[in-house]
């Protein structure tokens, strides 16, 4: 997963993660291996993991709505899918097949044959995410990192509050605009999205 360049926000995100355990910031992401063992490399790995996991929930910026796809042309960055349009009555998901994503037709109990209309969630570069989604990803990685490296309960509570605020600010799918059911339409911490009040 590409985090982005040093001119983007990925470097700042890695430094925020490092600062959560009292480490000094770094000046570049170049030559860092996410499989490495330095503290900076570990922080980068935590950010990569959080980016993939959070993006898999599906957000406006990484979801293609109502596209016709076959199992073989969803791309290597596919994370999740949901049947849409004329196929909305079906249950179609993304499964991993030896590192290659494929569409699985749950109703048929087999890999999708032919094409289907789906909402497709793909992993995008961290720097291409919205600012609010970047913040949620960073706060998630920051909490995981602090828990694994330091395990400070007081710090954990503070970061959890930051995560809640970031979660509430992140823009989600709007079912009302498209008259469709979408996953991930409200915060994971139970905060209901605000709706426009009806005018009498």
CA–CA distances in Å: residue 82 to residues 41, 116, 163: 34, 10, 27
pLDDT in tens, 127-146: 999 999 999 999 999 999 99
What distance in Å separates the CA atoms of residue 138 and residue 12, rounded to the nearest whole number? 9
What pTM was estimated for this model as a whole? Answer: 0.85
Contact 116, 69 (CB under 8 A): yes
CB-hemisphere CA count at 13 Å for 192? Answer: 3
| 174: confidence class by pLDDT, cuts 50, 70, 90 | confident
Q: Say if residue 164's pLDDT is above 70.
A: yes
pLDDT number for residue 178 = 67
pLDDT in tens, 9-19: 999 999 999 99
With CA atoms as reference, report the closest residue to 78 among 54, 48, 101, 52: 101
The alpha carbon of residue 51 and the mean position of all alpha carbons in its chain are separated, in whole angstroms, by 5
Q: φ and ψ at 91, to 5 degrees?
A: -115, 110
| 34: confidence class by pLDDT, cuts 50, 70, 90 | low
pLDDT number for residue 182 = 77
Q: What does the block give as tokens for 113?
A: 């044959």
Measured at the CA of 27, the angle between CA 25 and CA 30, to 5 degrees, comes to 120
| 8: confidence class by pLDDT, cuts 50, 70, 90 | confident
Q: Where are the domains of the chain?
A: 10-56+125-173, 60-122
pLDDT number for residue 194 = 47
């Amino acid at each position: 997963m590409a985090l982005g360049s040093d001119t983007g926000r990925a470097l700042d995100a890695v430094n925020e993660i490092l600062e959560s355990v009292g480490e000094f910031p770094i000046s570049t992401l170049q030559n860092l291996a996410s499989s490495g063992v330095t503290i900076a490399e570990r922080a980068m790995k935590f950010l990569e993991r959080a980016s993939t996991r959070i993006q898999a929930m599906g957000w406006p910026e990484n979801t293609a709505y109502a596209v016709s796809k076959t199992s073989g042309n969803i791309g290597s960055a596919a994370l999740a899918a949901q049947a849409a349009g004329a196929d909305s009555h079906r249950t179609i998901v993304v499964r991993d097949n030896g590192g290659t994503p494929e569409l699985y037709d749950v109703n048929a109990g087999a890999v999708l044959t032919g094409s289907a209309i789906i909402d497709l969630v793909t992993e995008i570069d961290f720097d291409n995410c919205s600012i609010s989604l970047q913040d949620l990803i960073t706060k998630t990685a920051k909490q995981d990192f602090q828990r694994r490296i330091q395990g400070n309960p007081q710090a954990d509570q503070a970061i959890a509050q930051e995560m809640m605020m970031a979660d509430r600010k992140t823009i989600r799918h709007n079912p009302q605009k498209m008259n469709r059911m979408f996953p991930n339409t409200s915060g994971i911490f139970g905060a209901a999205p605000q709706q426009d009040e009806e005018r009498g």
